[in-house]
Amino acid sequence: MAFQILLNFFIAVVWMFLSSSMTVTTFVIGYIIGLILLIMMRRFFTESLYFEWLWAAFKLTLLFIRELTLSNIDVLRVVLRPKLNIQPRIFALPTELKRDWEITLLSSLITLTPGTVVVHVSDDQKTLYVHAIDADDVQDAIDSIKNTFEKAIKEVSRP
Amino acid sequence: MTVIANTLIVLTIVVGLLFTVVTVIGVLRLPDVYTRAHAASKSATLGVLSILVGTFFHFWLNEGYFSVRILLGILFLFITAPIGGHLMSRAAYFSGVKPTELTVGDDLAEVVERAKKEKQIN
């Protein structure tokens, strides 16, 4: 992926030399030409193209912002309810993610989702222990949210 | 144009203030350290975030100054706030702070017990 970006950059620089004008506009045109060339040559790369990865990362960012807003409204409702009828619970959540940064990202996302805070990551990095603020109605909803997050992170890490 | 800009600024700062106040109420009202971590790590993030966004828009649209530092501050806040909430609740758990009586289940307790026993055997 880094190689593809570097190649695209290189093609843009070559384009700047070919047209012998060192301006930003020429660079941008060269970059777009490099992008088209990369798309045409995509079957020679073992990985998929880098802007697919960029698109997945962008989708993950949007998901993150949406979940942050939703979780804040959720906390607002819990806090401002006149009677405090919460049922906290710590539950185990198995994860399939392997690399360190993926697990860090997943636990950050879980911490910012409605009603959950990660308390502990097990030593073999296969289970996350999550504190949920409301056990009965959140449990199923949370599992589905985890699936969307885990899927989005997988899309980013192995496109 | 100025009216739209000012509405945007006032709206974001009011939302930020609202969430910050909710954080304070949550920290005062909720029963134990873990539920307080919920309130503190979420509402404080979005509260400070919207205040920063409002400040950014004010300086950009009214004063004509595009402040990259505020944007960087927002980014740093996004990265550090959930980690802070996680670390504090983890430290509380492993130093033996009991959750409230309202708690219905604890999957982590048995794991910690097993680890302690293994340590005693070794």
- pLDDT tens for chain A, 159 residues long, are 788 889 999 999 999 999 988 889 999 999 999 999 988 888 888 777 888 888 888 888 888 888 888 878 888 888 887 777 777 888 788 888 888 888 888 888 888 877 788 888 888 878 888 888 777 666 676 677 777 888 888 888 765
Give the number of other CB atoms < 10 A from CB of residue A140: 9
Query: Which sign does the torsion angle of CA A89, A95, A100, A105 carry?
Result: negative
**The pLDDT value given to residue B105:** 65
CA atoms of B98 and B102, how far apart (whole Å): 11
Residues on chain B touching A90 (C-beta within 8 angstroms): 34, 99, 103, 105-109
Predicted TM-score (pTM) of the model is: 0.77
- Report yes or no: A108 at the B interface, CB cutoff 8 Å: yes
- Report whether A131 contacts A92 (CB < 8 A): no
* C-alpha dist (Å) from residue B27 to A57, A88, B19, B30, B77: 33, 15, 12, 6, 19
Q: What distance in Å separates residue B57's CA from the closest CA in chain A?
A: 19
pLDDT mean values, one per 10 residues, chain B (122 residues): 85 91 86 83 84 91 86 87 86 80 67 74 68
A38 to A5, A34, A51, A53, B3: CA distances (angstroms) = 10, 6, 11, 14, 46
The structure tokens listed for A109 are 């996302």
Interface check B50 vs A, CB under 8 A: no
Cite the beta strand spans of chain A per DSSP E.
Answer: 89-94, 116-121, 127-132
Query: What local confidence, expressed as pLDDT, does residue B26 receive?
Result: 85
For B5, phi then psi, to 5°, come to -60, -45
Q: What is the pLDDT of residue B122?
A: 64
What is the radius of gyration, based on Cα positions, of chain A?
A: 22
Strands (E) located in B1-119? 105-106
CA distance B4 to chain A (A): 23
Nearest-Cα distance to chain A for B105, in Å, is 5
pLDDT score for B52: 92
Contact B99, A88 (CB under 8 A): yes
User: Which chain B residues have a beta carbon less than 8 Å from that of A68?
Assistant: 42, 45-46
Strand runs labelled E in chain B? 105-106
Indicate the domain borders of chain B. 2-121
